[in-house]
Amino acid sequence: MENRSIFSGVHQVIGNTPMVHLSRITEGLDGNIFAKLEYLNPGFSKKDRIGLQIIEEAEKAGLLKPNQTVVELTSGNTGTGLAIVCGVKGYKFVAVMSKGNSLERARMMEALGAEVVLVDQAPGSPVGQVSGEDLAKVEEVAKQITKERNAFRADQFNHIGNIHAHEYHTGEEMWRQTNGEIDVFLDFAGSGGTFTGCAKTLKKYKPDIRCYLVEPDSAPFYSGKPVMNPNHKIQGGGYLMNLPLLDKHLVTNYIHITDEEATQVARDLAKKEGIFAGFSSGANVAAALKLLKQEEKGANIVLTINDSGLKYLSTDLYK
């Protein structure tokens, strides 16, 4: 019988995701896109990594006590990661989420043992398009519950563990998997943790790596351009709010992607590469394709496939 590793819990299989060369979607272009399949984490997204890192750092620092409740605001992915980690470690978890996010995420968190609190959107916000104003309402409720229950707030937008998850793990994996043959790294701006963590590590090894931040075309907040429409379809980011974890010194430039571009490329990824992913993954690959056609011809671009298309079946992404 061959030897095999047996893990003591599913939290131990988070990370070490495979890297795939997207050779079909880039046919005819000069350069390469290497995609890290983060949707193969147990909770089907890259946010499993920060769920694990934040909880384990809090345990080590004595900030999270046995049997204490954990609370976090989420668009669904961080909440799923935290639900998994809290479930196997024995903590009660409360996820606070806007009603604008896809229903699958709330159902998945509940199935994983989380208590899910859904918050009404701000007046005028369309379902499926969560704005910074919507998120501010979710933040208020998350703060209130944390106080009422004397809970530990995972606080993904401020907790350094969010950066560490990608600095210590994702970025290191990218470097190893590509044998350091990386010219460009890019990521859609969500909490800023993936961008900052990966960029820090990759620049440590190769200071001249170019790092691009991807934004919704209608809401180019971080690049300082006028915001035409804060309500966009790329769930999990583009919130038009200050991101304490985003280190702008690491940003080479900004790329702006429309809802239509993100949607079309996500569909192409499924059909051509067999990669079934969500809006922000479509945005990442759309941005990489744009770079290969323009200022980064011939480059090796590395990025993450952030989450699974299964989380968007109630949206119009795969209609």
Amino acid at the residue 194: T
CB–CB of 280/190 below 8 Å? yes
Catalytic residue among 98, 102, 125, 280: 280
Give the DSSP letter string of 182-239: -SEEEEE-SSSHHHHHHHHHHHHH-TT-EEEEEEETT--TTTT---S-S--S-TT---
Q: Helices H, strands E: what count in the chain? A: 9, 10
SS3 (DSSP) at 307: strand
Catalytic residue among 47, 137, 200, 233: 47
SS3 (DSSP) at 291: helix
Neighbours of 16 (CB within 10 A): 12
What lies within 8 Å, CB to CB, of 257 at 6+ separation is 188, 214, 215, 216, 217, 234, 283, 286, 287, 290
CB–CB of 37/308 below 8 Å? no
Q: Which of 180, 18, 44, 33 is nearest to 111 (CA)?
A: 44
47 is catalytic: yes
Q: Which of 110, 165, 100 is nearest to 136 (CA)?
A: 100
314: region left, alpha or beta (phi > 0 left; psi from -120 to 50 alpha): alpha
> Which residues are annotated as catalytic?
47, 280
